[in-house]
């Protein structure tokens, strides 16, 4: 990272306000379902779903960073702000189901809208660290609408995130977040959901941040099993600059509140700190990344705490992103890199771009969580990419073809 870039980053951090959580009535009695509401979302899955068998969001977007001091949490008696009440995902996915994946000893939460045509495509989405599959909810609806149902969307909660749980008892005290494990999980999940590659729709793999590292590693493995991969799309992650920013991560995580008094408070915090810029999307995605504090939590613990302990993932951070650019450029399929704002390319990606090895799209006016900040624009980019590479026009090469 250049001295100029580092100085600018530190200056932005110093200018940002410290926001204190808004608190709620201590007598409120909210159940766990309120933190990840699905409303009337159908839980029935198609037959193949029922068969048994990070970048961290604070690294790249400087406007989401907080001063590295955490204010103590103290409850205030204030009713939850209804403007930030959770929204059900039922209007954004047709199905929500748990998929047992024996190879990974996981019970995986899957959100799915299947394509309406037999020969359609499924866009498979992997979220970043600390997030969940619901980060793609608004984008998923926009994709289905723009493609007139030819594209379906499958979004997954990876291990240790959202409503994915371990099937083994007792669960280990520390989850395995090695990139090899996360990649194997992703491949195993798709093999359970789509057990027959010959009848599986073509797949377009989309990964945000850490999810980008997972999908580019999973692509060749899925191709070995004869799955048809029409492309890989990596969202807002550049290897070189991410690795340079990782040493700051512990301080930035320490700056987050310990927790919140209610889901509404958590949503409001994400919006007011500009961690997310789309209130509707935040009202869907944020409840999935917090959970009720355990009954044996120390006195004074907020009513809701973070679902994924990101500090505990730190031993894996470097391995998540090392080699990402090379693996992306050598994927044997069409390649798309979507960045937020004017984020720079590293040397390897810059050379690859000049050689026409991938399509680059920059979306303005968004933060790191671009799939939430402007889901319609990202959906337009993905549908255009899908049309170019799945419905090939004579004389027009796929992205990355020489």
Catalytic residue among 36, 236, 373, 374: 236
368 is an active site residue: yes
Give yes or no for a contact between 76 and 27, defined as CB atoms under 8 angstroms apart: no
Q: What pLDDT shows up at residue 234?
A: 98
250 is an active site residue: no
Q: What pLDDT shows up at residue 401?
A: 54
Q: Output 305 or 27, whichever has higher pLDDT.
A: 305
- pLDDT, tens only, 230-240: 999 999 999 99
Q: Average of pLDDT values for 2-24? A: 39
- pLDDT, tens only, 114-165: 999 888 999 999 999 999 999 999 999 999 999 999 999 999 999 999 999 9
CA-CA-CA-CA dihedral for 108, 157, 313, 239, to nearest 10:
130
Q: What pLDDT shows up at residue 134?
A: 98
Q: Which domains does the chain have, with CATH numbers?
A: 3-14+39-390 (3.40.50.1820)
Confidence of residue 293 (pLDDT cuts 50, 70, 90): very high
Does 9 score more than 60 pLDDT?
no
Q: What pLDDT shows up at residue 390?
A: 83
- pLDDT, tens only, 221-232: 999 999 999 999
Catalytic residue among 104, 209, 281, 325: 209
Does 176 score more than 60 pLDDT?
yes
Q: What pLDDT shows up at residue 26?
A: 37
Q: What pLDDT shows up at residue 391?
A: 62
Q: Average of pLDDT values for 36-43? A: 37
How many other C-beta atoms can be found within 10 angstroms of the C-beta atom of residue 115? Answer: 19
Does 379 score more than 60 pLDDT?
yes
Which of 73, 128, 90 lies closest to 266 in space, CA to CA? 73
401 is an active site residue: no
Percentage with pLDDT > 70 across the chain: 76
Phi, psi of 281 (to 5 degrees): -65, -40
Q: Output 119 or 189, whichever has higher pLDDT.
A: 189
Give, in order, the Cα–Cα distances in Å from 329 to each of 177, 226, 233: 24, 20, 11
346-384 in b/e burial notation, b at 16+ Cβ within 10 A? bebbeebeeeebbbebebeebbbbbbbbbbebbbbbbbe
Q: Average of pLDDT values for 76-96? A: 89
Q: Average of pLDDT values for 319-341? A: 96
Q: What pLDDT shows up at residue 170?
A: 61
Q: What pLDDT shows up at residue 21?
A: 35
Catalytic residue among 23, 368, 373, 374: 368
As a whole number, the mean pLDDT across the chain is 83
* pTM of the model as a whole: 0.82
Q: What is the DSSP letter of 32?
A: G
Q: Output 59 or 256, whichever has higher pLDDT.
A: 256
Q: Average of pLDDT values for 243-253? A: 91
Give CA–CA dist 50/148, Å, rounded. 26
Confidence of residue 349 (pLDDT cuts 50, 70, 90): very high
Which of 360, 362, 363 lies closest to 399 in space, CA to CA? 360
Q: Average of pLDDT values for 39-68? A: 37
Q: What pLDDT shows up at residue 164?
A: 97
Bridge-based pairing state of the strands 304-306 and 290-292: antiparallel
Number of H helices, E strands in the chain: 14, 12
């Amino acid at each position: 990272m250049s001295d100029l870039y580092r100085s600018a980053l530190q200056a932005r951090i110093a200018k940002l306000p410290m926001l204190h959580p808004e608190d709620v009535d201590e007598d409120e009695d909210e159940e766990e379902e309120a933190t990840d509401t699905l409303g009337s979302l159908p839980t029935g899955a198609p037959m193949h779903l029922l068969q048994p068998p990070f970048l961290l969001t604070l690294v790249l977007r400087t406007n989401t960073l907080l001063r590295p001091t955490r204010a103590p949490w103290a409850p205030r008696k204030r009713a939850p702000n209804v403007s930030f009440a959770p929204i059900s995902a039922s209007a954004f996915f047709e199905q929500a189901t748990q998929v047992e994946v024996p190879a990974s000893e996981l019970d995986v939460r899957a959100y799915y809208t299947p394509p309406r045509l037999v020969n359609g495509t499924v866009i498979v989405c992997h979220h970043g660290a600390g997030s969940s599959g619901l980060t793609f909810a608004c984008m998923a609806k926009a994709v289905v609408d723009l493609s007139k149902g030819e594209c379906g969307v499958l979004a997954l909660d990876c291990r240790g995130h959202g409503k994915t749980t371990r099937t083994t008892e007792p669960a280990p005290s520390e989850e395995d977040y090695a990139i090899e494990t996360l990649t194997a999980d992703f491949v195993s999940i798709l093999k359970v959901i789509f057990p027959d590659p010959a009848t599986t729709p073509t797949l377009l793999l989309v990964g945000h941040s850490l999810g980008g590292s997972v999908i580019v590693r999973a692509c060749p493995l899925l191709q070995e099993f004869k799955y048809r991969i029409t492309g890989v799309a990596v969202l807002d992650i550049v290897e070189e600059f991410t690795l340079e920013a990782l040493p700051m991560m512990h301080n930035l995580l320490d700056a987050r509140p310990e927790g919140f008094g209610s889901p509404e408070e958590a949503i409001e915090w994400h919006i007011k700190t500009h961690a997310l810029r789309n209130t509707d999307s935040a009202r869907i995605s944020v409840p999935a990344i917090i959970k009720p504090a355990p009954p044996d939590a120390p006195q004074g613990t907020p009513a809701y705490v973070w679902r994924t302990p990101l500090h505990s993932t730190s031993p894996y951070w470097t391995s998540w992103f090392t080699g990402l650019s090379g693996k992306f450029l050598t994927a044997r399929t069409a390649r798309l890199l979507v960045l937020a704002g004017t984020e720079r390319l590293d040397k390897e990606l810059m050379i690859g771009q000049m050689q026409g090895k991938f399509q680059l799209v920059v979306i303005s006016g968004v933060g790191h969580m671009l799939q939430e900040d402007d889901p319609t624009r990202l959906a337009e980019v993905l549908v255009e990419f899908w049309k170019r590479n799945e419905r090939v026009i004579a004389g027009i090469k796929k992205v990355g073809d020489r």
